[in-house]
Amino acid sequence: MHRCFELALLGAGHVAPNPMVGAVLVHEGRIIGEGYHQQFGGPHAEVHCIRSVKEEDRRLVSQSTMYVSLEPCAHYGKTPPCADLIIHHQVPHVVIGCPDPFKEVDGKGIGKLKAAGVNVEVGILQKEALDLNKRFFTFHTAHRPYIILKWAQTADGKIAGDDRSRLLISGPITNRLVHRWRAEEASILIGTNTALFDDPQLTDRHWNGPDPIRLVVDMQLRLPSSLQVFNRQVKTIVFNTLQHREEENLLYYQVTTDTELVPQIVHALYQLKIQSVLVEGGAQLLQSFIDSGYWDEARTITNDQLVIGAGLPAPVLKEAAVTETTTIMTDRVQTFQKIKH
């Protein structure tokens, strides 16, 4: 099952809104086939797994155990049902990491396999299997995107200077890590001041992967069109109070002022079928997500050797637990999970 997870992660950034899935076929302790979901709309992990079996091992498929990180699908979508494929090849034993909550599956794949006489085990390394596809599960069970907050701060807890000028806090290796994070998420969100003062590209140009959809809050549409986020090279959504219209690679999404902004953004992303969002700033927008309770994970980069004194304070997390700490040169990278009650 651990090998299934390793394979599944190879599809990160390429399979959304589908989940990442890995599959391994084992005969008497020997792996004879393995595969993963590589591209949205393409064959699923189980298909690649069976296709990978060498000709001389084909006869062993009907005597083997298939391990798969997520319940095989039972419906016709962009591809035929994987449960049918397993039954067709007479795989006698299937071990599943966790069930699939997607309404078109949701136990139907397991049921179909059992009805065909397949011996099915469910819940092997289930916690790890659920964590692997936390974005997919959050979207389909909580009906909202998975929300990750991210910021870099100095040793004395500042994210910018007094004049809001761009402050280079993290090192080049950590910056490359941030671009990997961007490639793993469906979208990336910034506020008006971050767009105006930093003029970021919000791409993952230092990592090989798809660029996230760019999201910008610009309530009064006061940002100049010369900013890099408006270059039309990546799909961009602008949350504002003045208009709702769409043009080439640019969507103006209208929100209202009579209710909180964060729940409106979260609802809009769900309606737009965007499964995850990386909130990169600024401080006010990040704090709004924290205060509203709409966040799942936070990642902070602290340069432990940089002290600037006066400046813009970093956001303050509430009800958070550190789950991981890594040191990269002078940068301390920490991951926090929201404590759920």
Distance CA 201, CA 233 (A): 10
Position 177 scores a pLDDT of 94
Residue 257, both tokens: 């002022």
Q: Pick the catalytic residue: 34, 46, 71, 184?
A: 46
For the chain, list residues with pLDDT below 50. Answer: none
Residue 154, both tokens: 């100095």
Position 153 scores a pLDDT of 95
By CB neighbour count within 10 A (0-12 exposed, 13-18 middle, 19+ buried), where does 163 fall? exposed
Asked if the peptide bond before residue 171 counts as cis, ω within 30 degrees of 0, the response is: no
Distance CA 74, CA 170 (A): 46
Position 160 scores a pLDDT of 87
Position 102 scores a pLDDT of 77
Position 271 scores a pLDDT of 96
Examine the residue annotation and report whether 128 is marked as an active-site residue of this protein.
no
